[in-house]
A and B are shown apart, each in its own frame.
Chain A
Amino acid sequence: MSSTETIIAAPGRLSARISLNELIRYRDLLYFLTVKNFIIKYKQTLIGVAWAVIQPVMQMVVFSIIFGKFAKIPSDNVPYPIFVYSALIPWTFFANSMSACNSSIINHAGLISKVYFPRLLIPLSAIGSQLIDFGISFIVLVGIMIYYGFPFATHLFMIIPLILLTIMTTIGFGALIAALSGIYRDFRHIVPFLLSIWMFLTPVIYPASLIGSRFEFLLNLNPLTGIVSGFRSAILNQPFQWNFLFISLIGSMFFFIIGILYFTRAQNRFADLV
């Protein structure tokens, strides 16, 4: 720790702005909190990390049976399982991160009231541990692509900027939800059903092309639309819908800034509320 810093703690001014330096100084804590969240999630389960593989695969199987087989939802002429899995990769990461952020402040109440560290590390580490599952879901993807004989085409390179976009979106909404549920307990109950509605408003189980052009604009307001259809295009080697992606990028940046700003403003009150 530097020995000549001066901290001025007057009301309102207390970490009212985000200190990037401070986040960098505490990067080891981010790492350990992330690892902790990941370890305790799978500790004392019989098959451990294998759950991170089984969960998305089971979801894919169930969705394929219900929506692909029975409901016969069109899947742009690709096998439904790989069609739905390509969208479930970003969606599951996003939704699980939101649930983790939703309870993160309350789960760390003991720490918040007893020691200082940049509070943003709490939602960030909640998202960080989901990132490990996110990585594992790509390994499963490779297996599925080989099984269905899908080519690893050039569009796949778009995965990397898409992953970054997904993470940015997740951090923005995650910080927002963490702060809101930290202050207003009501959000702990709102978020789960908000997420289930959100999934159906996002083209996860159905193709974006299913929505007529009249409602396309509405679909675009949801930053997840661009991400999910982007992932699908990259994996299934289909043409990208750049207008979706562009609007998604703008929306994500907007929510990233709003989320971080709101969290930074709200964080001073956590210690007195939890």
Chain B
Amino acid sequence: MESTPVIQIQNLSKQYRLGQKVAFDTLRDRLGAFLHKNPLPLLTDQKVVRALRNLDLEVYPGEVLGIIGFNGSGKSTLLKLISRITPPTAGEIKIRGGVSSLLDVGLGFHPDLTGRENIFLNGAILGMKRTEIKAKFDDIVTFSGIEPKFLDTPVKRYSSGMYVRLAFSIAAHLDSDILLIDEVLAVGDYEFQKKCLDKIDNITQSRRTVLFVSHNLAAIERLCDRTIVIDKGQKVFDGKTAEAIEHYYSLHKRQANPDNLLDPGIVRTGTGAVRFAGVQIIDKQMQPKTEIAPDEEITIQLDLDVQKPVNHLRIAIIIKNRLGQTLAQLYSKDSRHDFGTIEKNTSILCHINHIPLNPGNYYLDLWIADRVEVLDFVEHACDLVIRRKTLVSNGKIHETQYSGNVFVECKWDW
């Protein structure tokens, strides 16, 4: 590894004003302060969000650095500071080389402009020269898979897929020394996402430096050698990607309460006619648990808070692994169960004879809908922890190494 870092960050902090961002600096405040000789209202501590706190980071040439953390942890703020979109409140950033930031795809795309016009405009916004865009024009169009005959059509006539493909293709043809990428992979259909990942793979192999922010842990694991974890504006981990993901996951594991595993910090969508109020995982002895053994018989109990009577309920429990990949979907409609009309608070039980998961950390998404609309949808509602089996053989403790998520019971013979 070369000795001079391309990005050197020291003691970096960024504060925002809470709520209405201009609350303390309107013309009225300024005029009032001027006329009445009052000082400007001072910012109090409660009204300041410290998006980043005293962050140090060094990134070396050719490194592909992953940045993970919960929503609002400060990941995106970090990229905005490095890309000079907004100034830091304190601290210093040194950068050696040209930086391109891809915080969004299709920046500056105007619906009334044609595909061709937008390629030039967007390319220039991303920092490309006109000659450079001209030279890459055919590659960009080929990569996007858009038929050349549509190039002179305003992009508002494009399907959303075409729009996104074109936008990403331009970004994919940037060749600055340092690339900052935020969540742009969350676009397009599966085929195109795969193509984009491959393209990023290519970029990372070209000895360029890439900073990659994503919630897609599978993509982080695939692309990054080193990953930092940011929590509440601070860097809490910096090291190998696999360990970083482990650390990120451990942040999730709060003091779990067996009587209600529902994470207090959840974000809900849906109409709210019915809400998930609690989750319990109950073992054979009818005891609520925070951890269960592989292949154990369990019952998942969902407590419903019913605001108004509903019928034809459909409920789904989605089991995901720590990379966010869906492993199973337990859907009441698939089991042809009809709950009838539900008028007041109640509990729904879902029995699982054998939970076919290897030891590790998983989590559940909960979804409930009536015949027409989603009533409540909670992503990452609670953790599902499968205990490690500790085998004691010949007086030694033997911990099994598991790989893969699915537990398949088998017997060997010869």
Contact = CB atoms under 8 A, between A and B. Distances in A.
B176 A1 contact: yes
B113 A113 contact: no
B84 A15 contact: yes
B113 A40 contact: yes
A271 B92 contact: no
A4 interface: yes
Interface residues of A, number: 43
A188 to B, nearest CB: 11
Interface in A1-60: 1-12, 14-15, 26, 28-29, 31-33, 35-36, 39-40, 43-44
A4 B98 CA distance: 8
A185 B85 CA distance: 21
Contacts of B16: 272
A111 B21 contact: no
B169 to A, nearest CB: 17
A11 B97 contact: no
Interface stretch (B123-131, B230-238, B273-281): B123-131
A3 B112 contact: no
Given A7-B84, A9-B92, A29 B112 contact: no
A151 interface: no
A115 interface: yes
Given A9-B87, A272-B86, A117 B81 contact: no
Contact of B21 (A8, A31, A272): A272
Given A3-B98, A9-B81, A29-B125, A114 B107 contact: yes
Given A39-B113, A44-B112, A2 B98 contact: yes
A108 to B, nearest CB: 8
A5 B113 CA distance: 34
Interface centre among A31, A32, A110, A115 (most CB of B within 10 A): A115
A32 B28 CA distance: 37
A112 interface: yes
A155 to B, nearest CB: 39
A181 to B, nearest CB: 10
Contacts of B176: 1
Contacts of A5: 95-98
Given A40-B110, A113-B85, A1 B92 contact: no
A273 B96 contact: no
Given A28-B130, A39-B112, A115-B126, A11 B117 contact: no
A114 B130 CA distance: 21
A29 B129 CA distance: 8
B270 interface: no
A187 B25 CA distance: 14
B107 A36 contact: no
A37 to B, nearest CB: 10
Interface string B188-231: 00000000000000000000000000000000000000000000
Interface in B106-139: 107-108, 110, 112-113, 117, 120-121, 124-130
Interface of A: 1-12, 14-15, 26, 28-29, 31-33, 35-36, 39-40, 43-44, 110-117, 183-187, 268, 271-273
